[in-house]
Amino acid sequence: MVKTIKTKRLPKDPGPAGWNEIYKDKSSFPAVDTDIEVDWVVIGGGFAGLGAAKRLLQLLGSKERIAVIEARGIAQGPAGRNSGFMLDLPHELNSDTYVGSKEQDLRQIRLNREAITMAESIAHQYGMDKALFSRSGKITASATERGYRSIETYAKHLTALDEPYELLGADELYSLLGTQFYTKGLRTAKTAMIQPAGYIHSAYKGLALEGVQVYECSPVVEMKLNDSVHTLICANGSVRAKNVIMAVNGHIQSFGFFKQSLLHIFTYSSMTRAS
Protein backbone atom coordinates (compact mmCIF):
# COMPACT_ATOMS: atom_id res chain seq x y z
CA MET A 1 0.00 0.00 0.00
CA VAL A 2 1.29 3.47 -0.88
CA LYS A 3 1.04 6.28 1.64
CA THR A 4 1.46 9.74 0.12
CA ILE A 5 2.74 12.60 2.25
CA LYS A 6 2.80 16.11 0.82
CA THR A 7 5.24 18.44 2.58
CA LYS A 8 3.26 21.29 4.13
CA ARG A 9 6.12 23.77 4.62
CA LEU A 10 9.62 24.08 3.22
CA PRO A 11 12.64 25.75 4.85
CA LYS A 12 12.70 29.51 4.25
CA ASP A 13 15.66 31.76 3.64
CA PRO A 14 16.19 33.84 6.80
CA GLY A 15 19.10 35.75 5.20
CA PRO A 16 22.81 35.00 4.93
CA ALA A 17 24.41 32.70 7.55
CA GLY A 18 27.43 34.49 9.06
CA TRP A 19 29.82 31.55 9.26
CA ASN A 20 28.90 30.53 5.75
CA GLU A 21 29.49 34.04 4.41
CA ILE A 22 33.03 34.22 5.77
CA TYR A 23 34.03 30.67 4.78
CA LYS A 24 35.88 30.64 1.45
CA ASP A 25 36.32 26.98 0.59
CA LYS A 26 32.63 26.11 0.15
CA SER A 27 31.38 22.82 -1.25
CA SER A 28 28.95 22.73 -4.15
CA PHE A 29 26.65 19.88 -5.06
CA PRO A 30 24.10 19.37 -7.83
CA ALA A 31 20.33 19.52 -7.44
CA VAL A 32 18.22 16.43 -8.03
CA ASP A 33 17.34 16.90 -11.71
CA THR A 34 16.60 13.34 -12.78
CA ASP A 35 15.22 10.11 -11.30
CA ILE A 36 17.74 8.55 -8.92
CA GLU A 37 17.74 5.17 -7.19
CA VAL A 38 19.73 4.47 -4.00
CA ASP A 39 19.51 2.10 -1.02
CA TRP A 40 19.43 4.80 1.66
CA VAL A 41 18.31 8.40 1.42
CA VAL A 42 18.84 10.93 4.18
CA ILE A 43 16.60 14.01 3.97
CA GLY A 44 18.32 17.08 5.45
CA GLY A 45 21.93 18.16 5.01
CA GLY A 46 22.64 19.48 8.52
CA PHE A 47 24.59 17.84 11.36
CA ALA A 48 22.02 15.08 11.92
CA GLY A 49 22.12 14.26 8.18
CA LEU A 50 25.90 14.24 8.29
CA GLY A 51 25.93 11.92 11.32
CA ALA A 52 23.44 9.54 9.73
CA ALA A 53 25.25 9.36 6.37
CA LYS A 54 28.67 8.93 7.98
CA ARG A 55 27.46 6.18 10.29
CA LEU A 56 25.79 4.35 7.39
CA LEU A 57 29.05 4.57 5.49
CA GLN A 58 30.97 3.16 8.48
CA LEU A 59 28.51 0.30 8.84
CA LEU A 60 27.88 -0.54 5.18
CA GLY A 61 30.99 0.64 3.34
CA SER A 62 30.40 0.82 -0.40
CA LYS A 63 27.96 -2.14 -0.35
CA GLU A 64 24.91 0.15 -0.38
CA ARG A 65 24.27 3.46 -2.15
CA ILE A 66 23.63 6.44 0.14
CA ALA A 67 22.26 9.88 -0.80
CA VAL A 68 21.72 13.07 1.20
CA ILE A 69 19.10 15.53 -0.08
CA GLU A 70 19.19 19.12 1.21
CA ALA A 71 16.41 21.63 0.52
CA ARG A 72 18.66 24.69 0.48
CA GLY A 73 22.44 25.04 0.27
CA ILE A 74 24.75 23.11 2.59
CA ALA A 75 25.45 25.43 5.60
CA GLN A 76 22.67 27.89 4.72
CA GLY A 77 20.45 26.51 7.49
CA PRO A 78 21.19 26.20 11.23
CA ALA A 79 24.35 24.21 10.36
CA GLY A 80 25.92 27.44 9.10
CA ARG A 81 24.52 29.83 11.65
CA ASN A 82 24.99 28.25 15.08
CA SER A 83 27.58 29.30 17.68
CA GLY A 84 29.85 26.32 17.16
CA PHE A 85 30.10 24.98 20.71
CA MET A 86 30.22 21.19 20.94
CA LEU A 87 29.62 21.05 24.67
CA ASP A 88 30.41 17.93 26.62
CA LEU A 89 28.90 19.12 29.92
CA PRO A 90 25.27 20.29 30.05
CA HIS A 91 24.80 24.08 30.57
CA GLU A 92 22.81 23.34 33.69
CA LEU A 93 23.64 20.43 35.92
CA ASN A 94 20.70 19.06 37.76
CA SER A 95 20.69 19.40 41.52
CA ASP A 96 22.81 19.75 44.64
CA THR A 97 21.78 16.45 46.05
CA TYR A 98 21.50 14.45 42.85
CA VAL A 99 18.55 12.43 44.08
CA GLY A 100 17.54 10.52 40.99
CA SER A 101 19.12 12.87 38.44
CA LYS A 102 22.86 12.20 38.50
CA GLU A 103 22.46 9.25 36.14
CA GLN A 104 20.69 11.52 33.67
CA ASP A 105 23.57 14.04 33.65
CA LEU A 106 26.15 11.27 33.35
CA ARG A 107 24.27 9.71 30.42
CA GLN A 108 24.02 13.09 28.69
CA ILE A 109 27.74 13.72 29.18
CA ARG A 110 28.65 10.28 27.76
CA LEU A 111 26.44 10.92 24.73
CA ASN A 112 27.87 14.42 24.16
CA ARG A 113 31.44 13.09 24.37
CA GLU A 114 30.67 10.27 21.95
CA ALA A 115 29.39 12.87 19.45
CA ILE A 116 32.47 15.09 19.95
CA THR A 117 34.76 12.09 19.42
CA MET A 118 32.92 11.23 16.20
CA ALA A 119 33.15 14.86 15.03
CA GLU A 120 36.88 14.86 15.83
CA SER A 121 37.52 11.65 13.90
CA ILE A 122 35.61 13.07 10.89
CA ALA A 123 37.74 16.25 11.14
CA HIS A 124 40.96 14.20 11.17
CA GLN A 125 39.85 11.87 8.40
CA TYR A 126 38.88 14.72 6.06
CA GLY A 127 41.96 16.83 6.87
CA MET A 128 40.24 19.76 8.61
CA ASP A 129 42.53 22.20 10.38
CA LYS A 130 42.18 23.74 13.85
CA ALA A 131 40.15 26.66 12.53
CA LEU A 132 37.34 24.20 11.73
CA PHE A 133 37.59 21.87 14.75
CA SER A 134 39.51 22.36 17.96
CA ARG A 135 39.38 20.92 21.46
CA SER A 136 39.26 24.39 22.95
CA GLY A 137 37.77 23.61 26.35
CA LYS A 138 35.23 26.03 27.80
CA ILE A 139 35.46 29.01 30.13
CA THR A 140 32.47 30.25 32.12
CA ALA A 141 33.37 33.76 33.27
CA SER A 142 31.67 36.36 35.41
CA ALA A 143 32.02 39.94 36.58
CA THR A 144 29.21 40.07 39.15
CA GLU A 145 28.37 38.57 42.55
CA ARG A 146 25.41 36.77 41.01
CA GLY A 147 27.70 35.27 38.39
CA TYR A 148 30.18 34.17 41.06
CA ARG A 149 27.37 32.28 42.80
CA SER A 150 26.51 30.47 39.54
CA ILE A 151 30.14 29.51 39.12
CA GLU A 152 30.27 28.19 42.70
CA THR A 153 27.11 26.12 42.17
CA TYR A 154 28.45 24.78 38.89
CA ALA A 155 31.75 23.86 40.57
CA LYS A 156 29.85 21.99 43.32
CA HIS A 157 27.96 19.99 40.70
CA LEU A 158 31.12 19.17 38.82
CA THR A 159 32.73 17.93 42.04
CA ALA A 160 29.69 15.71 42.67
CA LEU A 161 30.15 14.24 39.20
CA ASP A 162 33.93 13.76 39.66
CA GLU A 163 34.48 16.09 36.72
CA PRO A 164 37.75 18.07 36.80
CA TYR A 165 37.71 21.87 36.47
CA GLU A 166 40.00 24.81 37.14
CA LEU A 167 38.99 28.05 38.89
CA LEU A 168 40.42 31.19 37.30
CA GLY A 169 41.09 34.63 38.77
CA ALA A 170 41.10 38.04 37.07
CA ASP A 171 44.76 37.89 35.94
CA GLU A 172 44.42 34.45 34.38
CA LEU A 173 41.19 35.49 32.63
CA TYR A 174 42.89 38.63 31.29
CA SER A 175 45.80 36.65 29.88
CA LEU A 176 43.46 34.05 28.34
CA LEU A 177 40.69 36.33 27.05
CA GLY A 178 42.43 39.67 26.55
CA THR A 179 39.81 41.58 28.54
CA GLN A 180 39.86 42.84 32.13
CA PHE A 181 36.07 42.71 32.33
CA TYR A 182 35.78 39.25 33.92
CA THR A 183 37.01 38.66 37.43
CA LYS A 184 36.20 35.01 38.19
CA GLY A 185 35.97 32.01 35.93
CA LEU A 186 35.80 28.25 35.67
CA ARG A 187 37.45 26.23 32.94
CA THR A 188 36.67 22.69 31.81
CA ALA A 189 38.75 20.89 29.20
CA LYS A 190 36.68 18.75 26.87
CA THR A 191 34.38 21.08 24.91
CA ALA A 192 35.22 21.42 21.23
CA MET A 193 34.66 24.47 19.04
CA ILE A 194 33.94 24.31 15.37
CA GLN A 195 33.51 26.79 12.54
CA PRO A 196 30.15 25.17 11.81
CA ALA A 197 29.79 26.18 8.16
CA GLY A 198 33.39 25.28 7.33
CA TYR A 199 33.07 22.01 9.20
CA ILE A 200 29.88 20.99 7.44
CA HIS A 201 31.15 21.96 3.96
CA SER A 202 34.36 19.97 4.50
CA ALA A 203 32.51 16.99 5.96
CA TYR A 204 30.04 16.73 3.06
CA LYS A 205 32.93 17.11 0.58
CA GLY A 206 34.64 14.20 2.36
CA LEU A 207 31.47 12.11 2.31
CA ALA A 208 31.09 12.75 -1.43
CA LEU A 209 34.67 11.60 -2.00
CA GLU A 210 33.77 8.41 -0.16
CA GLY A 211 30.85 7.82 -2.52
CA VAL A 212 27.86 9.43 -0.79
CA GLN A 213 25.67 11.26 -3.32
CA VAL A 214 24.98 14.76 -1.98
CA TYR A 215 22.30 17.00 -3.51
CA GLU A 216 21.41 20.56 -2.54
CA CYS A 217 18.66 23.01 -3.57
CA SER A 218 16.33 20.02 -3.72
CA PRO A 219 13.42 20.34 -1.29
CA VAL A 220 11.46 17.13 -0.93
CA VAL A 221 7.89 18.19 -1.67
CA GLU A 222 6.23 14.79 -1.52
CA MET A 223 6.97 11.29 -0.25
CA LYS A 224 5.31 8.10 -1.44
CA LEU A 225 5.96 5.46 1.18
CA ASN A 226 5.63 1.91 -0.03
CA ASP A 227 6.22 -1.50 1.56
CA SER A 228 9.44 -2.04 -0.40
CA VAL A 229 10.68 1.12 -2.16
CA HIS A 230 9.85 4.71 -1.20
CA THR A 231 9.83 7.63 -3.62
CA LEU A 232 10.73 11.21 -2.76
CA ILE A 233 9.60 13.89 -5.17
CA CYS A 234 11.69 17.04 -5.70
CA ALA A 235 10.93 19.85 -8.16
CA ASN A 236 12.92 18.42 -11.08
CA GLY A 237 13.44 14.78 -10.24
CA SER A 238 12.82 12.00 -7.77
CA VAL A 239 14.73 9.66 -5.47
CA ARG A 240 13.73 6.03 -4.99
CA ALA A 241 15.14 4.30 -1.92
CA LYS A 242 14.48 1.25 0.24
CA ASN A 243 15.27 3.22 3.40
CA VAL A 244 14.53 6.85 4.29
CA ILE A 245 16.12 8.66 7.22
CA MET A 246 14.57 12.00 8.08
CA ALA A 247 17.09 14.47 9.50
CA VAL A 248 14.99 17.59 8.96
CA ASN A 249 14.90 18.97 12.52
CA GLY A 250 11.55 20.66 13.34
CA HIS A 251 10.46 20.26 9.71
CA ILE A 252 9.57 16.68 10.62
CA GLN A 253 6.16 18.24 11.41
CA SER A 254 5.92 19.60 7.86
CA PHE A 255 5.81 15.93 6.83
CA GLY A 256 2.91 15.30 9.22
CA PHE A 257 4.83 13.54 12.00
CA PHE A 258 4.74 14.49 15.73
CA LYS A 259 1.56 16.55 15.26
CA GLN A 260 1.07 19.05 18.11
CA SER A 261 3.86 17.52 20.12
CA LEU A 262 6.91 19.63 19.24
CA LEU A 263 7.76 23.08 20.54
CA HIS A 264 9.84 24.98 17.99
CA ILE A 265 12.50 27.26 19.39
CA PHE A 266 14.12 29.90 17.18
CA THR A 267 17.48 31.24 18.29
CA TYR A 268 19.41 34.09 16.72
CA SER A 269 22.94 35.36 16.92
CA SER A 270 24.86 37.93 14.96
CA MET A 271 28.42 38.43 13.92
CA THR A 272 30.07 41.85 13.95
CA ARG A 273 31.54 43.01 10.66
CA ALA A 274 35.32 42.94 10.42
CA SER A 275 36.52 46.53 10.86
**By the rule CB under 6 A, 215 interacts with ligand FAD:** no
Binder among 36, 46, 126, 168 for ligand FAD (CB under 6 A) = 46
Residue in 65, 85, 170, 243 binding ligand FAD, rule: CB under 6 A:
85
Q: Is 38 or 43 the residue whose CB approaches ligand FAD more closely?
A: 43
Q: Looking at 36, 38, 42, 44, which residue binds ligand FAD (CB under 6 A)? A: 44
- Which one of 6-14, 32-40, 53-61, 162-170 is the stretch in contact with ligand FAD (CB under 6 A)? 6-14
Please, what is the minimum distance in Å from the beta carbon of residue 32 to ligand FAD? 10
Task: Select the span of 16-24, 30-38, 73-81, 120-128 touching ligand FAD (CB under 6 A).
Answer: 73-81
Minimal CA–CA distance to 199: which of 53, 25, 10? 25
- Min. distance of Cβ 154 from ligand FAD in angstroms? 18
CB of 228 to ligand FAD, least distance (A): 22
Residue 274 CB, shortest distance to ligand FAD, in Å, is: 19
Q: Does 18 participate in binding ligand FAD (rule CB under 6 A)?
A: no
The smaller minimum CB distance to ligand FAD, of residues 173 and 223, is found at 223
Quick check: 80 binds ligand FAD (CB under 6 A)?
A: no
Please give the residues from 227 up to 266 whose contact with ligand FAD meets the rule CB under 6 A. Answer: 247-249, 251
Q: Which listed residue (18, 26, 78, 120) binds ligand FAD by CB under 6 A?
A: 78
- 42: number of Cβ within 10 Å: 27
Instruction: For residue 205, count other CB atoms closer than 10 A to its CB.
Output: 19
Site for ligand FAD in 23-42 (CB under 6 A): none
Question: What is the distance between the alpha carbons of residues 251 and 20, in angstroms, rounded to a whole number?
Answer: 21
Toward ligand FAD, which CB reaches closer, 142 or 191?
Answer: 191
**Residue 137 makes contact with ligand FAD by CB under 6 A:** no
- SS3 letters across the chain: CCEEEECCCCCCCCCCCHHHHHCCCCCCCCCCCCEEEEEEEEECCCHHHHHHHHHHHHHHCCCCCEEEECCCCCCCCHHHCCCCEECCCCCCCCCCCCCCCHHHHHHHHHHHHHHHHHHHHHHHHCCCCCCCEECCCEEEEECCHHHHHHHHHHHHHHHHCCCCCEEEEHHHHHHHHCCCCCCEEEEECCCEEECHHHHHHHHHHHHHHCCCEEECCCCCCEEEECCCCEEEEECCEEEEEEEEEECCHHHHHHHCCCCCCCCCCCCCCCCCCCC
Which spans of this chain sit near ligand FAD (rule: CB under 6 A)? Answer: 7, 10-11, 43-49, 69-72, 77-79, 81-85, 219-220, 247-249, 251, 267-269
